[in-house]
Amino acid sequence: MSFDILQDQIRKLKNPTVAGLDARLEYVPPYIVNRYINQYGETFQAAAEAIFEFNRGLMDALCDIVPAVKPQSAYYELLGWRGMEMLERTIAYAHKKGLYVIADIKRGDIGTTATAYSEAWLGKTKIGGSELAAFDADCVTVNGYMGSDSIKPFLEHCVSEKKSMFVLVKTSNRSAMELQDLVAGDRQVYHVMGDLAQRLGRETEGRHGFNAIGAVVGATFPSDLRALRERLEHTFFLVPGYGAQGGTAEDVQYAFNRYGHGAIINSSRGIMCAWQKTGQDGMDYQEAARNAAIAMRDDIKQYITIV
């Protein structure tokens, strides 16, 4: 079960964080961008190659500090098929560096369509007698607004391919409350979603006590985070909202159980864009990212101990 692999990597590095790979061209040091624009013009190809060099450099600098990376599909789609090709290379490179890959795709559909998404991102595509992996991530994020029909097809590949998924439960943004906090009977909508995720995953519990279906729970509502940790004992959490969105290490401590297990905290711009604060035009982007990742790890470790 794939959250076992992730939890093992977290324990090895004593670091429950994931680095977002969400590069817009503005986040890439200009010396890299300019080199590729000089070579390929102002094209999707130039942008894709610049971002790939940046991603690769980040992963080289981070792979012995963070256990996982989380490419956000939107930023690759922004470059059309060139971006998607580069995303495939980014995931392959992450695997080469021993990083666990959470593809942040937030897909949500039903039936054969959900199966196609799941095959594309976690499974294999059948072409004649061959089976080929398209994106080959270790884990995806899923939007469950359409109910269990949108979760179960991914669960099949979680089991057959030893992969995992996070369902959006309580997100970190302000307007999350418009739908997710509505009260229906004795539960809020996000409780219903969280309970559904844990129930659907119950036969997939791994060595560390977590099911193959995890939950996205934002750092920006720490009391909800704490209550959900108690409610969803077997559900691994992906926690966005640390840093830029206002969540602190003190807030995110509630995502972990008493062993310091069961959650991974995301930082995207805080690590990727650390070079923008050192005044060296990005020449030091690797060192800046590494220092930011170490600082984040040590910040969180003030509040939790991973046994």
Catalytic positions, written as ranges: 106
Please list every residue from 44 through 73 that binds a copy of itself, using CB under 8 A. Answer: 44, 46-47, 72
Phi/psi at 171 (5° precision)? -90, 170
Amino acid at 163: K
Which one among 3, 52, 54, 75 touches a copy of itself, defined by CB under 8 A? 75
x/- string (CB under 8 A) for a copy of itself, residues 4-33? ------------------x-xx-------x
| Ramachandran region, residue 56 (left: φ > 0; alpha: ψ -120 to 50; beta: rest) | alpha
Which residues does residue 293 pair with via DSSP β-bridges, in sequence order?
A: none
Residue 284 CB, nearest approach to a copy of itself (Å): 24
Closest CA to 203 of 147, 170, 156: 156
Residue 291: CB minimum distance to a copy of itself, A: 23
- Structure token digits, residue 205: 């519990």
Minimum distance from CB of 120 to a copy of itself (Å)? Answer: 4
**Does the protein bind a copy of itself through residue 78 (CB under 8 A)?**
yes
Binding segment for a copy of itself (CB under 8 A), chosen from 38-46, 54-62, 225-233, 284-292, is 38-46
Rama region for 281: left / alpha / beta (φ>0; ψ in -120 to 50; rest): left
Instruction: Kindly identify the residues of this chain, within the stretch 147-176, that bind a copy of itself according to CB under 8 A.
Output: 147-150, 168, 171, 173-176
Q: Six-digit token pair at 142?
A: 């899923």
In this structure, what are the phi and psi dihedrals at residue 7, rounded to the nearest 5 degrees? -65, -35
Distances (CA, A) of 128 to 41, 111, 125, 131: 39, 22, 10, 8
Question: Judged by CB under 8 A, how many residues of this single chain contact a copy of itself?
Answer: 73
Q: Cβ closer to a copy of itself: 173 or 280?
A: 173
Helices (H), 110-151: 111-121
Q: Is 92 in the site for a copy of itself (CB under 8 A)?
A: no
Residue span binding a copy of itself (CB under 8 A) among the ranges 62-70, 138-146, 222-230, 258-266 = 138-146
| Unique residue bearing structure tokens 């805080």 | 270
Nearest CB to a copy of itself, comparing residues 183 and 307: 183
Q: Using the rule CB under 8 A, which residue among 8, 53, 60, 88 binds a copy of itself?
A: 88
Shortest Cβ 27–a copy of itself spacing (Å)? 10
Q: Work out which of 5, 65, 193, 213 binds a copy of itself, going by CB under 8 A.
A: 193
**Closer to a copy of itself by Cβ: residue 75 or 242:** 75
Task: Give the single-character DSSP code of 32.
Answer: H
Whichever of 189 and 249 has its CB closer to a copy of itself, that residue is 189
Query: CA–CA separation, 25 vs 184, rounded Å?
Result: 43
Q: Which residue has the tokens 């980014």?
A: 90
Contacts of 128 (CB under 8 A, 6+ apart): none
42 counts as binding a copy of itself under rule CB under 8 A: yes
Task: Tell me the per-residue interface mask from 96 to 115 with a copy of itself, x by CB under 8 A, - otherwise.
Answer: ----------xxxxxxxxx-
Sort strands 130-132 and 183-184 into parallel, antiparallel or unpaired. unpaired
